[in-house]
């Protein structure tokens, strides 16, 4: 505990409770999920960059989405694994805590913006195929990605700044595995009601903003697909959007549970589960969602493996 006149300069993260055996099980499980996440998304990035068959806006956005997934999960999971492997070592300075929270929130916001852009891209491909190549040219795709990244990193400056302007004098112990904003507000000795309300409004704007074009796009997409006379045509059109739609449901749903709540300082157990969904489970599912349903990507990946084998053989 800290005195009322002093503010914490470092925090101790409790991580996950339990015996040493339970911690080892957690470590093995999360290490496996993190390793598959990094390797799977790296495979997507390399395949999209190398394969000539995947030079389209959909795969260009998918490559950037995979980059974001690797970065997002890497902001917190390695530190969490270190804490599980060596208990009582999860001590983080105030500056490192601010950097971790800012990177995590900024990258997550950029990802939501990119998911909204991908929904519009699918709408153009299904509903306006004749104008698709004209509108979704390389210049447009590059600008969409740039705007997504800039929007993410600019929109989270004030929320993180406002959080770390508070005085943390109740305690320097955070009941979480990373610098969670709710836990930071909980250990502040100031009245955080107004700050929490503003953060709630900003979270609603950041999440609803990309969600609106996503919902509108898929409304038109589903309407257009249902009008296709042949079953094979409907199946082909739906398979193009199914992976992205599945990922949107998981991504936006978990963010709603985690951030769209007026009271940020609620149960730590709830926040831990929701954070694990965003930081561990969703990035882990990304390579499987976007590749297992995509015959074109699987074929391109097979071609890349053949080329690598020929290079090694020669």
Q: Is residue 280 within 8 Å of residue 79, measured between CB atoms? A: no
Q: How many CA atoms lie within 13 A of 215 on its CB side?
A: 7
pLDDT computed for residue 6 by the predictor: 63
CA distances from 159 to 196, 239, 307 (A): 10, 38, 47
Instruction: Determine the straight-line distance between the first and last CA of the chain, rounded to whole angstroms.
Output: 65
Q: State the fold for domain 10-313.
A: Rhopdopsin 7-helix transmembrane proteins (1.20.1070)
DSSP letter at 52?
G
Lowest mean pLDDT among 126-140, 177-191, 244-258, 259-273: 259-273
Rounded to an integer, the average pLDDT of 53-57 is 86
Which helix (H) or strand (E) segment is 162 a member of?
Answer: helix 157-163
Distance of alpha carbon 16 from alpha carbon 175, whole angstroms: 8
Q: Convert the pLDDT of each residue in 92-131 to its tens digit.
A: 999 999 999 999 999 999 999 999 999 999 889 888 888 8
User: 36: pLDDT confidence band, cut at 50, 70 and 90?
Assistant: very high
Chain length of the chain: 314
- Does the pLDDT at position 1 exceed 70? no
Distance of alpha carbon 188 from alpha carbon 11, whole angstroms: 12
Which pair of tokens denotes residue 244? 């992205």
Lowest mean pLDDT among 27-41, 151-165, 264-278: 264-278
């Amino acid at each position: 505990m800290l005195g009322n006149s002093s503010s914490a300069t470092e925090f101790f993260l409790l991580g996950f409770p339990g015996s040493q055996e339970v911690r080892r099980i957690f470590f093995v499980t999360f290490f496996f999920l993190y390793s598959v996440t990094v390797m799977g998304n790296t495979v997507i990035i390399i395949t999209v960059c190398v394969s000539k068959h995947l030079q389209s806006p959909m795969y260009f956005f998918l490559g950037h989405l995979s980059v974001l997934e690797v970065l997002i999960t890497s902001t917190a999971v390695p530190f969490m694994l270190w804490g599980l492997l060596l208990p009582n070592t999860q001590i983080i300075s105030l500056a490192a805590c601010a950097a971790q929270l800012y990177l995590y929130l900024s990258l997550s916001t950029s990802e939501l913006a990119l998911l909204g852009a991908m929904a519009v891209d699918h709408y153009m491909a299904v509903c306006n195929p004749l104008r698709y190549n004209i509108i979704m040219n390389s210049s447009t795709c590059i600008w969409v990605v740039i705007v997504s990244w800039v929007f993410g990193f600019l929109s989270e400056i004030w929320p993180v700044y406002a959080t770390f302007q508070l005085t943390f004098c109740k305690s320097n112990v955070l009941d979480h595995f990373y610098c969670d904003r709710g836990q930071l507000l909980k250990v502040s000795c100031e009245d955080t009601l107004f700050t929490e309300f503003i953060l709630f409004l900003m979270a609603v704007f950041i999440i609803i903003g990309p969600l609106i074009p996503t919902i509108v796009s898929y409304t038109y997409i589903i309407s257009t697909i249902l009008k296709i006379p042949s079953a094979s045509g409907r199946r082909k059109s739906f398979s193009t959007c199914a992976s992205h739609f599945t990922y949107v449901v998981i991504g936006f749903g978990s963010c709603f549970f985690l951030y769209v709540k007026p009271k940020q300082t609620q149960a730590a157990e709830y926040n831990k589960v929701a954070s694990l969904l965003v930081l561990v489970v969703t990035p882990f599912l990304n390579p499987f969602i976007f590749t297992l349903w995509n015959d074109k990507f699987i074929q391109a990946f097979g071609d890349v493996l053949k080329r690598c084998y020929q290079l090694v053989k020669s």
